[in-house]
Amino acid sequence: MTPQHTSSTNTFILGCRSVIFFAFQVISLFIFAPLVLLSFPFSYRLRYRIASSWAKLVIKALKVICRLDFQVTGAENIQGNGIIFCKHQSAWETFALQVMFPEQCWVLKRELLWIPLFGWALALTQPIAIDRAQKTRAFRQIVKQGIDRLKTGRWVVIFPEGTRTAPGEKRKYMIGGAMLAQKSGYPVIPVAHNAGEYWRRNAFIKYPGTIQVRIGEMIDSSSLSARELNEKAELWIESQMDEISQP
């Protein structure tokens, strides 16, 4: 069920489910975030396991409460570690990527770390928090810290469009992730999905259905320039979006 196929009765039911899911999300956050903070004296991996357990629980709750599931094509392409280039339509993928991929860190705007409790716990998972207003400095930070994270065996998650886009929209793919791949020698793995059709940007209602996720083959960065890497990943992601998006 997508937004254009809902009656007033269905909208009420969807609203009730979304309220219950939101309550679950908030209550569980107030359980898991303090656990992450309390784990500060211990290893990073313990903190990450706690944080990712919350994300996995949210995805399970979304399926049970809102009847929103997902289907993955191309999971066999996940090998070793590298840089994830993911379409950014929703809050959904920030949780779901932790279900689909092993240990990872995210390139994100530093303002998220200022959110009480949530941001403090997020900071302990060692994200790459950039100031988007300082583009040159942000690119350097992505490369330097990204290489450090990759060397530890983690995946680095990048949303190349920089911010969430509504279904059917497309933004310019930023070069930072491709620069990281070119400088580090690690491959890029592109991910496309249509989550924005069910959990819309800045929207409260979650619609039932099955989100389609497609994971592409790894793109070798050893023989391509940053621009070529960016263009190849963008072409694959957007071609998949044309196939999986609702008309």
CATH of the domain at 23: 3.40.1130
Query: Residues for the chain: how many in total?
Result: 247
The per-residue pLDDT for 201 is: 87
Burial of 116 (0-12, 13-18, 19+ CB in 10 A): exposed
Q: Is the pTM of this model over 0.85?
A: yes
Cβ 177 vs Cβ 222: under 8 Å: no
**What's the pLDDT band for 246 if we cut at 50, 70, 90?**
confident
Query: How many domains are contained in the chain?
Result: 1
In the chain, what percentage of residues exceed pLDDT 70? 96
Q: In what order do the strands lie in the sheet with 209-215?
A: 68-73, 209-215, 188-193, 83-86, 155-158, 104-109, 128-130
In the chain, what percentage of residues exceed pLDDT 90? 89
DSSP H/E element including 34: helix 8-38
> Which domain covers residue 59, as residue numbers?
3-244
